[in-house]
Amino acid sequence: MPEAIWNGQVVALASATETKVVEGNIYFPPGTVRQEFLRPNSSHTTCAWKGLASYYDLEVDGKTNRQAAWYYPDPKPEAAQIKGFIAFWKGVEVRP
**What pTM was estimated for this model as a whole?**
0.96
pLDDT digits over 52-91, tens only?
999 999 999 999 999 999 999 999 999 999 999 999 999 9
DSSP string for residues in 56-95: EEEEETTEEEEEEEEEBSS--GGGGGGBT-EEE-TT-EEE
What pLDDT is attached to residue 19?
A: 98
- The mean per-residue pLDDT over the stretch 12-28 comes to 97
- CATH fold, domain 3-95, is 2.170.150
Q: Could you give the percent of the chain with pLDDT greater than 90?
A: 100
Domain range summary for the chain, segments of one domain joined by +: 3-95
Label residue 35 left, alpha or beta by phi (over 0 means left) and psi (-120 to 50 means alpha).
alpha
pLDDT band at 29 (very low <50, low <70, confident <90, very high): very high
